[in-house]
Structure formats: C-alpha cells, structure tokens
Structure 1
C-alpha cells in the first residue's frame, strides 16, 4: 500500500506537468502549418491589410493632423503611398499576416473568412519585419516610416529574442521535470528535486507569457497609430494567449503538488513499520536471571549423608536465557 500510495501522490503533479508541456508545444506550433485551422488560430499578432488604401496630400484635416503628430509631411506621405502601392501591385500583398513564435502565415479574406494560403519556414528567434515581408527592402521606406513606429519595431526585434529564449527554457525545463519526476516514485527526495526543476519551468513560463502579452500590446498600438490611416490595422490573437496562460496555470499547480509530495507520502508501508517495531521488542539482549526458588529449595533438600556447606549461596544463575 505504501508504494501504491506514493504513485497516487505524484500522479496529480505529473498530469499537470504534461498539460503544461502540451500548452507550450501548441504555442510553438502556432502559424507553422497552413493546412491546420487549429494551428492557424494560434497567433500573437495579426496585421490586417484587406482595407489597404492610399492617402494623399489632399486628405481631410483630421488625417493631416494625424500625419503631423506622426512627424510626416506631405512629401513623406506621398512617398510612402507610392511605395505601398508599388508593393501591392508587385508583390500582391496578402489580406492579412499572422505572427507566431517561429514564423508567420498570410492569406486572403473572403466574406470575413480568413483563409491561410501560406506559412513561412520555422525560424529560431523569428520576428516579423514588415519591410522585408512586404518586399520593401531597398526602397528607403525605413527612412520615411514614423519615428515612433521605427522605434517600436526595433524594441520588438530585441525583446523577441528574449521571449524566444524564455519559451525554449520553459519547454526544456518542463521536459526535464517529467523525466526527473519518475524518481519521485521512489522517495520524497525525488519529489524535492523535481519541485526545484518545476520552479525553473514556472518562472520561465511566466516570463515568456508576460513578455509576449506586453510586447504585442505595444506593437498593436504602434501599428494602429502609425498605419491605420493607410488601412493597415493590428490586432492580437486570443487562443494563443489563453494557451500560454493555461501553461502558466498548469505549471503553477504542478509546482505546488510536487512540493506537497516532497513533504508527505513517503512510500513506506505502516504495517512494515509495526512489524519492525514488534521484532525489535522481541529481540532483547541475552541476560542473566536467578533460578527460581524451586531450584533453591531442591538444593536445600540434600541427603542426610551429604555434608552441606552453609556458605553456599541459595540462588543460582542460568548462563544464558533467551527472552
């Protein structure tokens, strides 16, 4: 019963760890397969170009004010319009671009139905560069993009590297947690070591999830502020954030149960302990004990013809007596 109870005790954290690992895998697989509608719905950020338009210097006063706030004069605006128009004609810009952890997917929109037609090759440390993806390299668009957007894109590029590393460490630590967790079947020391690894997994899962959430909120605001007047809008996904925060929840619960299993459920049978105590009680050391009065009385009833030594002790001892 002791070993069986130990297995039951670690079953819960083991299942929670597997659930956290599955969530992390789904986050990594988002936007990697154009044929999977489930994976296509796992994206951090969507750049929507289906309403792409070109503004001109004769736009409304509201648009002019927005351009002035973005430090864009009329010549810069005309140049950016021209570059976007050329890119739309030359490259056949897609209606939307979804960003995942290892790459992006693009596609067309028909009757509000987003259909993915292509996904990029998976790449470690991927970051979405609109200038490169939209085939604007060598056009000088970097120099005419709003300063605020350019700054946010540079920050996004740097933070993406940290986010990717955090997800990889979280994934590796969760796998190690499952492997080391097998030793928890044998002893509470195994649970204690597993709880330490679980803490590492939890820390980096939280760090990756927080980084992704905050970073893409900033990127969405930057897109909408600088490019909304051109019909380009940014939005955040939903399913991938639910998935990554579920990974955090499962990892937290697993850490608590691993720690609990290191404090209880030793795996030793209580019946075995009672038997050991009973055996110890029965195995008393060898002792000398006085022989009963019967032997003394018999010793005093000597035949009359046998001399009796009055100095003889009336008690005797057994050499060894087992208790």
Structure 2
C-alpha cells in the first residue's frame, strides 16, 4: 500500500506538469503552420489593415492633429503594390503570418515568414514602406514603442525556451519522486524555477503586446489600421501558468507526505520477565526422590496435590 499511495500522491503534480507542458507547446507553435486551424488562431498580436484608408480627406484625426504626409505616403505606396499591405498580420513567437479576407470576413493565410530566433514584428520591413526608415516615417511615440518591443522580445523569447526546457526536465525528474521524498525535493526545486520563468514569460508577453497594441492604435487608428491581442493565445498561456503553480504546490506537498513506506508492522509479543512455566510431569522422572516431589503422605494429601513449578527469568 505504501508504494501505491506514493504513486497516487505523485500522479496529481505529474498530470499538472504535463498540462503545463502542453500549454507552452501550443503557445510556441502559434503561427508556425497555416494549415493547422489551432495554430492559425494562436497569436500574440494582430494588425488588421483590411480597411486601410488612404484618402486624406476621409482621415479623422483627433483634435488639431495634422496628417503625417510621410507616413501616409509610405502606407499608400505599400498598399498600391501587389506584395504590399495584406488584410491582416498575425504575430507569433517565432514568426508572423499574413493573409486576405473575403467579403464575409473569412480569413485565409497566404504566407508565413520563416522561423527566427528572437523574432519581432517590424512593420517597416514587413510592409515594405517605400524603402524608408522608421525614424523618417513613424512619430516618436511609435518609434520608442518599436525599439522597446525589439529589445524586450529577446528576453521574452529566451524565457519561453528556458521555461519549456525546465518543464520537460520537471516531468522527467518527477519519476524519481515515485520512489523517495528526495526525488520530490529535487523536482520541487526544478518546478519552482520553471514557474518563475513561465510567469515571467507570460507577464512580459502580456505587457509587451498590450503596449504595442496601444502604440499602433494611437498612431495608425486614424488610417483605419486596427491592432488587437490574441485572446486565445493569452488564455492558453495563463492557463499554463496556473497549471505550473498548481504542480509546484503539489510537488511540495509530496515532499512532506506519502513517504512510500508500508504502514503495517509485524507485532512481536514478548513474555513478561519473571514469569512461571509449568514443568513436565513427572518431574525428574519416576526415579526421583519422592520427598523432593511430594510432601509427607501423613497429612492426607496425595502425591498429585502439589504441582511443581520452576522459577525462570526471561531476558528481554
């Protein structure tokens, strides 16, 4: 029962670790394949340019802002080419995908960029903005946002790689926890490190792309270019964080409980010291001295009236 109880105690954190690993794998697979519906729907950031407005007279700018002619000219040039602005752009961890929309709003991905370590979405390069630089096109607000995005994206990418490696290690090391609490202790340490990196990656991703959406909306919304975050991606990501926290908690519990040793012990009954045992009859055989066995018969008692005992001391 001990080993079986230990296995039952380890099953819960192992299952939670596997669930966290699956969530991280889904997050990292977003936009890697245009043929998979699951991967197509998983993205951190989306830019919708399907309703791009290049008519200066129809552009609605807030307050007394003037139209940025350089930015408008660059966007007009990109939209006028066959390989220019697509209807939407979805950004994943490794790459981005682009595509078109039909009249009913159905999206069709036509191209996904190659995978790249430390990937970040650069609209100047992706949109081919008339071979100009971002410093000449975008306002300072958007340029600062893109610079921050480029720098933080490197840390975010590294966090995801470390997190998924630690999750895989946690799962493998977790098998040792079935046999001892020491295994649980080591797994708990790995799980704690994994939780730190998963939480850091999720927090960084959420904050980074929320900031990027705000920057795009403030600068490009007057041109009817909309930006949004992927709710499905964030849901899977934070669900993975929840699984990670729960698995760490149950790994810690397994260190303190479910030792794996059997609770049944063999009971040994020992005799009380200074007890008496009946000796065999007849005592000392029939040829023994009668006076050592029986009292005088003159008192009216028979030889069997007295039963001899020997005094023994049992060493414990």
Q: What is the TM-score of this pair, normalised by structure 2? A: 0.83
* Residues 1:165 and 2:158 are matched in the alignment: yes
**Aligned-residue offset at 1:78:** 2.4
When structure 1 is superposed on structure 2, of 152-161 and 137-146 the one drifting more is 137-146
**Aligned-residue offset at 1:89:** 2.2
Corresponding residue to 1:248 among 228, 241, 251: 241
Query: Which aligned runs of 4 or more in structure 1 are off by greater than 6 angstroms?
Result: 287-295, 320-323
**Aligned-residue offset at 1:28:** 0.1
Q: SS of the residue aligned with 1:135?
A: coil
How far apart in 2 are the matches of 1:55 and 1:178?
Answer: 57
How far apart in 1 are the matches of 2:50 and 2:203?
Answer: 30
How far apart in 1 are the matches of 2:75 and 2:271?
Answer: 94
Query: Match of 1:26?
Result: 26
How far apart in 1 are the matches of 2:130 and 2:255?
Answer: 57
Q: Which runs of 5+ in 2 are unaligned?
A: 293-309
**Aligned-residue offset at 1:198:** 0.7
* Residues 1:189 and 2:175 are matched in the alignment: no
- 1:52-67 mapped onto 2 (5 Å cutoff): 52-56=52-56, 63=61, 65=63, 67=65
When structure 1 is superposed on structure 2, of 239-248 and 164-173 the one drifting more is 164-173
RMSD in angstroms over aligned alpha carbons?
3.0
**Aligned-residue offset at 1:282:** 5.7
How far apart in 2 are the matches of 1:283 and 1:143?
Answer: 99
Q: SS of the residue aligned with 1:270?
A: coil
Query: Match of 1:84?
Result: 75
- Structure in which a larger fraction of residues adopt helix: 1
Verify the 8 A CA contact 1:167 1:205 in the aligned structure 2: yes
Q: What is the TM-score of this pair, normalised by structure 1? A: 0.81
Verify the 8 A CA contact 2:49 2:225 in the aligned structure 1: yes
Corresponding residue to 2:101 among 97, 100, 109: 109
Query: Match of 1:94?
Result: 86
* Alpha-carbon displacement from aligned partner over 1:234-265 (angstroms, at most 9, x marks no partner): 11111100000000111111111111111111
Shift in CA distance, 142/189, structure 1 to aligned 2, threshold 3 Å = same
Verify the 8 A CA contact 2:84 2:128 in the aligned structure 1: no
Q: SS of the residue aligned with 2:65?
A: helix
Shift in CA distance, 141/257, structure 1 to aligned 2, threshold 3 Å = closer
How far apart in 2 are the matches of 1:292 and 1:86?
Answer: 116
**Aligned pairs, number:** 292
**Aligned-residue offset at 1:321:** 7.5
How far apart in 1 are the matches of 2:163 and 2:271?
Answer: 54
How far apart in 1 are the matches of 2:23 and 2:246?
Answer: 14
How far apart in 2 are the matches of 1:36 and 1:50?
Answer: 23
Q: SS of the residue aligned with 2:227?
A: strand
Query: Match of 1:233?
Result: 226
**Aligned-residue offset at 1:33:** 0.3
Verify the 8 A CA contact 1:83 1:141 in the aligned structure 2: no
* Alpha-carbon displacement from aligned partner over 1:31-62 (angstroms, at most 9, x marks no partner): 11011111110001101100112243x567x6
How far apart in 1 are the matches of 2:38 and 2:134?
Answer: 35
How far apart in 1 are the matches of 2:143 and 2:70?
Answer: 17
How far apart in 2 are the matches of 1:150 and 1:185?
Answer: 53
How far apart in 1 are the matches of 2:63 and 2:271?
Answer: 97
Q: SS of the residue aligned with 1:46?
A: strand
Q: Which runs of 5+ in 1 are unaligned?
A: 69-73, 302-315
